[in-house]
Structure 1
Amino acid sequence: MIVSIPTISASLRERTALLAANPTAVNERMYETLMSLEGYENLMPSVRQDIAASIDLTAGLWFQSLLTGRPPSADDMDRFREFGRRRVHQRVPLQSVLRAFRLGSREIWRTYIALGEDDGSLVDELLFVISPYLFDFFDVMAQSIAQSYLEEQYQQARWREALRHQLYNIVFYTPDDHDGFRETVEALGLDSTAPRVALAIDIELPEHTSYERERELDRIALASARHLAAAPGDLVRAWHRGRLILWAPCLRGDSINRIDRLTAERAGALAAAVPELHRIGVGLMNEGASGWAATVDEAIRALDFTPKSQGQSQVAMYSSILIEESARLASNARRYLVSLLEQLANEPELVATLQTYFEQGQRRGQSAAALGIHPNTLNYRMERIEALLGASLDDVGWIEKLDIALKLRRAPT
């Protein structure tokens, strides 16, 4: 609450009344100063008009309080706080809003200094009466608008959290609800028709309260947005099957292959920059509710299908396991491939030898050394494998089949 409104002299009252009756000049100077601030410079015309209206109201309340000796009314303060709430949705940073008040008060003070230059009798009154009240007035108003801004920001966060939860349910449980998906995505301020790619992240989170956990996930999502070249508000997050899920926007009309390669690079940079992220699975670009679910499923499969013990990159791409996935999902193909290794099951050293052979890039010398056996022993085992399977390990087709069979053997069911 604004207190200690000073009683001003008749001379200053007369000049203040003139300013209040025609505040255009001071308001325009305030407006021009604000439009150069960070957070204000690229606003839409409708938002600029709203800011001009807030300047008119603030300056008017200042002049009114001096002339009447009364603080702004409850209705006036409600109107004033509404501007603070709107700044949240207009995406003007709170820091910029508060700086605008400091600079606005400076412009009003300059106007009063000019009055003192014209009339020396006002100097003491301006310095010792008006300036303390000016600082008090704008400090209280700034606190009021900051409070309304933060309250609205909190309500918006809760509202967005509710929308995210609703979106999660649609994507994973009712993906045929196309209208619900569109309405929910657009309520979040996003384009429901734009394609997205999912990242599934194995993440280490210390024991936290629910609130602290959400804050930590928000922090990681913010860092992820920078590395994924997405605006923070354009990155959608969820917690699904024990993993942090991020849906990153893709450029409409771009190819799946290019998006896949670009996302792989960005995910690699993200994994290197954020130590809490252990591994990242990347799905393929898709769209719509069912597409959002499909790319998440692919990202999780990429993590599950790529063994952790291989010491490979922290990023697992679904595009790298497409052939294995096709075989795994086609029951007849899977049974055939599994049967190849079953034929070697009575001689376990043959399976171990074949596994090592592929791990060593099909180099026999390195494979023998890794197994700790003589190269002739390795050759014997390889010939035995070929004999049991009717295969040729020089044949590309057989190499592909056996490689996939071994990957299917390691992969979780």
Structure 2
Amino acid sequence: MAARLRAGAPRLTREVLERLPAELPAYAALPAEELAGDIAEIVQHTVRLFADVVEGRPGAGDPDLAPQCASAAQRAEEGVPLDAILTAYQIGIEMCWREMTDQARPEELADVLALFADLLGIQRAIVAGVASAYLEARRLLDGPEQSGRHALFAALLAGEPADTVAGRTGVRPAAHYLVLTLVLAAHPDEARLGPCAAIAARRKLRRIRQALDGFTGRSALTALDPGGGTALLPMDAAPDWSDVRALIARAADAADTAITASAALAEPTGIPDAVDRNTEVLRLIRDTGRGPGLYLLTDVLLDYQLSRPSAALAGLAGLLAPLEGRPELLLTLETYLAHGRDRRATSGALHLHPNTVDYRIRRLTGLIGLSPNRAEDLHRLNAALVARRTLRPRPPG
């Protein structure tokens, strides 16, 4: 019977995954990726665990049920009801029972009863472990510890001194924090109608938080929604920025979504300024059309400095005034400079013939009197583009 269960585990898993959404609305609302991934792994693990018990091996102890308990905690974060989770296990256990006994003969009654005793034992262990893990996860999500973390996060964002924060929250802040400001792209499942979108968003955020927590081994303080937010990672010393870039890449892979982030290291009282700078860096990244990844202030030093309020901004932006009403020339200039003045790369990006790029460059040079192909004009053109983006009206938010 144990060998039969192990051999049939992939088929049994498929059959269980067909029944769960059909019979339980909470599972019908889950993203397809989650059913085919996390849930399928738990089903197979449980089938094989039952095979171990049938074979007489020690099983259904705390270490054996760790995946089921971790899964229950994740479902608690996603808002899946506990009764739906326990019913899902009942469905799986029932199907395992049918798999083992559908060919039993009358003279095998004693063996069938022994199997039934094993089934009741593993069912009891699963129900106890899963319910306990689920309720503990809900307690942490709703309890005073989480409230204390929110209070600490709010105090740090307000720039309160460390002694004040410790006195008010009961928690001594770290000496430094890695301040991360994140912009998160939507996961494809977030576009689906109904509860699936909210579950997909919570799953995305959970995976990102897990990646952030693993960076230092200490829990990150986060305020994230599906579009992004802020994370504070306690640090004892300055990080290696290549490690931080790798962290953002891992978080993006885990959440299966694009992440654009800005980072800075700050003492507790410097966190508000660090968040403001990060936000400005991300604005500059967005305005210049750069892709996802981690960006530091050093990556946009010229743009940052030129975008500060100054009497020179209007004059710099005015250098491009003759191109107003000629958006194709402005786009060509920006693309040409972004591709290192490579006419073929520019033509590929704009889907134009290289000769058309040359013509447009000559045309805009004649209109503004500055050429991107003259070294003495290059800095002024870059500065003019930054000034123009800075003064251009932005949509709310």
Q: Structure 1 length normalisation: TM-score?
A: 0.50
Q: 1:198–1:292: 8 Å Cα contact kept in structure 2?
A: no
Matched pairs, number: 267
Give the corresponding residue for 1:229: 215
What secondary structure is seen at the aligned counterpart in 2 of 1:267? helix
State yes or no: 1:338 paired with 2:317. yes
For residues 29-66 of structure 1, give each alpha carbon's deviation from its aligned partner in whole angstroms, at most 9, with x where no partner exists. xxxxxxxxxxxxxxxxxxxxxxxxxxxxxxxxxxxxxx
1:321 to 268, 288, 300: 300
Give the corresponding residue for 1:294: 273
Give the corresponding residue for 2:83: none
Give the corresponding residue for 2:184: 202
State yes or no: 1:271 paired with 2:252. yes
Q: 1:338–1:405: 8 Å Cα contact kept in structure 2?
A: yes
1:175 to 151, 156, 159: 159
Following TM superposition, by how much is the alpha carbon of 1:317 offset from its aligned partner in structure 2, in angstroms?
4.1
For residues 3-42 of structure 1, give each alpha carbon's deviation from its aligned partner in whole angstroms, at most 9, with x where no partner exists. xxxxxxxxxxxxxxxxxxxxxxxxxxxxxxxxxxxxxxxx
For residues 264-320 of structure 1, give each alpha carbon's deviation from its aligned partner in whole angstroms, at most 9, with x where no partner exists. 222123212321x3323122111214x323333344434433239947334444442
Counterpart AA for 2:223: A
The share of aligned pairs that are identical, in percent, is 16
Give the corresponding residue for 1:283: 263
Counterpart AA for 1:167: L
Following TM superposition, by how much is the alpha carbon of 1:353 offset from its aligned partner in structure 2, in angstroms?
3.2
1:355 to 334, 340, 354: 334
Written as runs of structure 1 = structure 2, the 5 A alignment for 1:36-55 is none
Written as runs of structure 1 = structure 2, the 5 A alignment for 1:98-247 is 155-157=139-141, 158-172=143-157, 174-176=158-160, 178-183=162-167, 187=171, 191-204=173-186, 206=190, 216=203, 219-225=206-212, 229-231=215-217, 233-239=218-224, 242-247=227-232
Give the corresponding residue for 1:404: 386
CA distance in structure 2 between the aligned counterparts of 1:403 and 1:184, rounded to whole angstroms:
47
Following TM superposition, by how much is the alpha carbon of 1:162 offset from its aligned partner in structure 2, in angstroms?
1.1
What secondary structure is seen at the aligned counterpart in 1 of 2:150? helix
1:304 to 280, 283, 286: 283
1:401 to 1:201, Cα distance in 2 relative to 1, 3 A: closer
Counterpart AA for 1:169: A
1:154 to 1:183, Cα distance in 2 relative to 1, 3 A: farther
Counterpart AA for 1:175: G
What secondary structure is seen at the aligned counterpart in 2 of 1:285? strand
1:318 to 1:162, Cα distance in 2 relative to 1, 3 A: same
Q: 2:205–2:255: 8 Å Cα contact kept in structure 1?
A: no
Counterpart AA for 1:196: L
What secondary structure is seen at the aligned counterpart in 1 of 2:319? helix
CA distance in structure 2 between the aligned counterparts of 1:318 and 1:397, rounded to whole angstroms:
19
CA distance in structure 1 between the aligned counterparts of 2:201 and 2:342, rounded to whole angstroms:
49
For residues 332-355 of structure 1, give each alpha carbon's deviation from its aligned partner in whole angstroms, at most 9, with x where no partner exists. 343333222224326555423322
Following TM superposition, by how much is the alpha carbon of 1:247 offset from its aligned partner in structure 2, in angstroms?
1.6
| Cα root mean square deviation, aligned | 4.6
Q: 1:250–1:259: 8 Å Cα contact kept in structure 2?
A: no
1:338 to 1:374, Cα distance in 2 relative to 1, 3 A: closer
Q: 2:223–2:229: 8 Å Cα contact kept in structure 1?
A: yes
CA distance in structure 1 between the aligned counterparts of 2:341 and 2:371, rounded to whole angstroms:
19
Counterpart AA for 1:271: A
CA distance in structure 2 between the aligned counterparts of 1:393 and 1:340, rounded to whole angstroms:
16
1:364 to 1:215, Cα distance in 2 relative to 1, 3 A: closer
What secondary structure is seen at the aligned counterpart in 1 of 2:307? helix
1:179 to 1:241, Cα distance in 2 relative to 1, 3 A: farther
For residues 187-223 of structure 1, give each alpha carbon's deviation from its aligned partner in whole angstroms, at most 9, with x where no partner exists. 3xx64322322141415374659x9699647632443
CA distance in structure 1 between the aligned counterparts of 2:374 and 2:179, rounded to whole angstroms:
38
State yes or no: 1:381 paired with 2:341. no
Following TM superposition, by how much is the alpha carbon of 1:183 offset from its aligned partner in structure 2, in angstroms?
4.1
Q: 2:153–2:222: 8 Å Cα contact kept in structure 1?
A: no
Q: 1:197–1:285: 8 Å Cα contact kept in structure 2?
A: yes
For residues 63-104 of structure 1, give each alpha carbon's deviation from its aligned partner in whole angstroms, at most 9, with x where no partner exists. xxxxxxxxxxxxxxxxxxxxxxxxxxxxxxx947x99xxxxx
Q: 1:327–1:334: 8 Å Cα contact kept in structure 2?
A: yes
Give the corresponding residue for 1:393: 374
CA distance in structure 1 between the aligned counterparts of 2:336 and 2:175, rounded to whole angstroms:
47
1:329 to 1:167, Cα distance in 2 relative to 1, 3 A: farther
For residues 130-158 of structure 1, give each alpha carbon's deviation from its aligned partner in whole angstroms, at most 9, with x where no partner exists. xxxxxxxxx99xx89x96x9877755541
What secondary structure is seen at the aligned counterpart in 1 of 2:323? coil
For residues 239-273 of structure 1, give each alpha carbon's deviation from its aligned partner in whole angstroms, at most 9, with x where no partner exists. 37952422223342x3xxx6433312221232123
Counterpart AA for 1:286: A
Counterpart AA for 2:206: R
Q: 1:299–1:318: 8 Å Cα contact kept in structure 2?
A: yes
1:300 to 1:237, Cα distance in 2 relative to 1, 3 A: same
Give the corresponding residue for 2:86: none
Could you tell me which runs of 5 or more consecutive residues in structure 2 were left unpaired when the two chains were aligned: 1-60, 67-123
